[in-house]
Amino acid sequence: MTMKLFADMERKRRELDTRDMEERKRKREQEIDEEEKATMEKEWQKNFEESRQNRVNSWKAFQAGSSTKASKTKKMRSGFKPPKHKAESR
C-alpha cells in the first residue's frame, strides 16, 4: 500500500513537471512570436514612412493632371469610335 502511494506521488510529480515544462515552452514560443511581430511592424512602419514622400508626390501629380499616363489614356479614349448604327430596312 505504501509503495503504491509513493509510486502515485512520483507519477503526479513527473506529470506536474512535464506540464510545467510544456507551459514554459509555450510561453517562450509566444514571446518569440510577439517579438517577431513587433520587429516586422517596426520595419513596415519604417518602410511606410520612407515611401511617404513618393506617394504624396504621385498623388499631387495625379491631381494636377500632369501625369504622362493620364494624358496617354485620354488620347486612347478619344481614338476609339464605335461603328455608326445602320437603320434596319424592311
Phi, psi of 81 (to 5 degrees): -125, 125
Question: 2-50 vs 52-64: helix axis angle to the nearest 10?
Answer: 40
The mean-pLDDT minimum among 2-6, 13-17, 59-63, 65-69 falls in 65-69
Contact 62, 70 (CB under 8 A): yes
Position of cell 469610335? 81
| pLDDT surpasses 90 at 87 | no
The percent of residues in the chain predicted with pLDDT above 90, rounded, is 66
C-alpha cell at 42: 517596426
Which secondary structure element, helix H or strand E, spans residue 90, and what is its range?
none
C-alpha cell at 26: 509555450
Confidence of residue 78 (pLDDT cuts 50, 70, 90): low
